[in-house]
Amino acid sequence: MPITPEQYARLRDTIRERFGIYYDDTKQFLLQSRLQTRLIKCRVADFDEYYRYLTISADREAEWDELASVLSNNETYFFRERAQLDVLASEVVDEAIKSRRRLRIWSAACSTGEEPYTIAMLLLAGGRIAPSEIDIKAGDISPRALEKAKTGFYRELSFRATPPEVMAKNFRPFESGYFISDEIKRMVEFSRVNLLDQRAVAAYGPADAIFCRNVLIYFDKPTQKRVVENFARALRPNGYLFLGHAESIIRLTDLYEPIVTPKAIYYRLRGTDGAR
């Protein structure tokens, strides 16, 4: 059944308030198609009744959990945007070693786990910091994505940028895919997080670096600003923020200094107002 403009606006705004994900007027059919399955699952007659289910039903929190998975875009793969990972393995690691502290990394929208596991493989292979001195935390809004990440089973599409020698060392074949090694799996701690929750985000600190790549593109400008300012509370002073190559926060906030190199763009928290 088609969604009316009024129904669309109400559901769109409710979703944005809860998750930050924003559907503009060109995305009406996309949101309708994603919600249509939920109408069937919840046994409601139309989008008005579904809105009431989301807002006043006794089962509304469970439905929000389901909706988080339905609305999430889980397009990711191992060793994505390698240049930023090289900055982590060099500059960020250098500073942690110099300061004689544990290295703390947060993959803030980890999806199905390829990003944080990539970070673990990269740091382990580098051999500059012992695994016992590395904390890698990974969070996502989608319960389904997190369950897949914790399982650590992947198919060919996840390996489009993975060197063969890395696959041979860190994965074991199983039926139509591969399981990641237990050694790498033990290096990553997964948990659920909503990036709009200031207190929950701050609890991930103090981080030396936060990765939140290809996520801000799904938020409107006010929500982008809110999220990156939340990150500032989870970063160490002068900590690093890595965003997707198509994402820029230069005109959103002055909390970060942009670092532009021939191969990578990233940000550093200015001053000393970050997490302690």
Q: In this structure, are residues 263 and 82 in contact, taking their beta carbons and an 8 Å threshold?
A: no
Indicate if 34 belongs to the active site: yes
Q: State yes or no: is 128 an active-site residue.
A: no
d(CA 141, CA 71): 10
E-assigned strand segments in the chain: 103-107, 134-140, 153-154, 171-174, 177-180, 188-192, 207-212, 235-243, 256-260, 265-269
What is the Cα–Cα distance from 99 to 96, expressed in whole angstroms?
Answer: 5
Q: Which of 140, 208, 226, 236 is catalytic?
A: 140
**CA–CA separation, 22 and 230 (whole Å):** 18
SS3 of 20, please? coil
Cis peptide before 206 (omega within 30 of 0): yes
Q: Which of 10, 16, 34, 102 does the annotation list as catalytic?
A: 34
Catalytic residues: 34, 140
